[in-house]
Amino acid sequence: MNVAAPARVDEHRIGVRRKARAYLALTKPRVVELLLVTTIPVMILAERGIPNPLLVLATVFGGALSAASANAFNCYIDRDIDRVMHRTRHRPLVTGELSDREALVFAWATGVASIAWLLATTNWLAAALSLGAILFYVLVYTLLLKRRTEQNIVWGGIAGCAPVLIGWAAVTGSIDWPAVILFAVIFLWTPPHYWPLSMRYRDDYASAHVPMLSVVRARSVVGLQVILYAWATVACSLLLVPVAHMGILYTVVALASGVWFVVEAHRLYGQAIREGDVQPMRVFHASIGYLSLLFVAVGVDPLVRFLPF
């Protein structure tokens, strides 16, 4: 299904406010927001208390720049398929609100700024992890995997796990087992989060010749994979209890939200193996709720256990 893109605007007649909104859209702010939600709780866990507020702000700002750079590079590289897909037809490189050159300059500028900022305000390890995340997302996921394999989102999701490691490294200057476990949680969570979305926009990906799992496999196969990864995600999240000595609050939240996530995954599979419509966006939204609750618990649990009562 080829969808005609909106009429391109004259970039010379775009006002400052609209241009600023276009640059913001280039960063995929919802993706940036979700990634940064994981950073602050991990920093609290690493500190076992409230970390230096200036360090938190510096790390979050540097992480936002890093994610903005990676997403801007992605929009630049994928501008051809964004013009074909219905859900991406309003991106600024499709509408003409930004030129290709403007997007590329912005991507390079925010990338360099993120590394320099983290190096100056945190430490070399956090800066190196930020650089690695940008390179992996752009070179490995966007250029190598996305258009070549149905497992693209599985391995491409590694870049989305980087904020956990960056936040931990900013506080401790090292990478320890709790950070590795939370990295693995997000790695395992990414496929059952993204594959339902790809089911919803299957025709889009097919028209753009992107071999998402939902395009090249039957929906029952996708549903089964969502179940397996959802179970693996929840099981991995519980490893944090003995390794990081998490308390009852985290344990209860991880179990309760995990049950919700798994139940929605099973419901999707049940719909997939029957004739009729499926509702993949229920799992998509449940996955966001699950991860948000889990990481709120990661941040709150260490604080609750040290309250004087």
CATH number of the domain bearing residue 51 = 1.10.357.140
Q: What is the three-state SS of 95-127?
A: HCCCCHHHHHHHHHHHHHHHHHHHHHHCCHHHH
Looking at 173, 201, 230, the residue that finishes a domain is 173
Pure H helices in 201-279: 202-207, 213-216, 219-238, 240-243, 248-272
217 and 278 both lie in a single domain: yes
Dig out the tokens for 65 from the structure.
């720049």
Tell me whether residue 4 is in a domain.
no
180 and 281 both lie in a single domain: yes
Dig out the tokens for 106 from the structure.
């912005």
Domain residue limits at 44? 15-173
Tell me whether residue 5 is in a domain.
no
- What pLDDT, on the 0 to 100 scale, is given for residue 156? 87
187 and 301 both lie in a single domain: yes
pTM to 2 decimals? 0.92
- Kindly give, in sequence order, each residue whose CB lies less than 8 Å from that of residue 119, ignoring residues fewer than 6 positions away: 127
Tell me whether residue 3 is in a domain.
no
pLDDT digits (tens, 9 = 90+) for 67-118: 999 999 999 999 999 999 988 889 999 999 999 999 999 999 999 999 999 9
Tell me whether residue 185 is in a domain.
yes
In 3D, which of 38, 37, 41 has the Cα closest to residue 303?
41
As a whole number, the mean pLDDT across the chain is 92
**Count of domains for the chain:** 2
Contact 166, 227 (CB under 8 A): no
pLDDT digits (tens, 9 = 90+) for 187-200: 999 999 999 999 99
Query: What is the four-CA torsion angle of 27, 31, 34, 39, rounded to 10 degrees?
Result: -50
CATH number of the domain bearing residue 204 = 1.20.120
In 3D, which of 203, 208, 157, 198 has the Cα closest to residue 280?
198
Looking at 173, 189, 209, the residue that finishes a domain is 173
261 and 160 both lie in a single domain: no
pLDDT digits (tens, 9 = 90+) for 138-187: 999 999 999 999 999 998 889 889 999 999 999 999 999 999 999 999 99
224 and 169 both lie in a single domain: no
- What pLDDT, on the 0 to 100 scale, is given for residue 1? 44
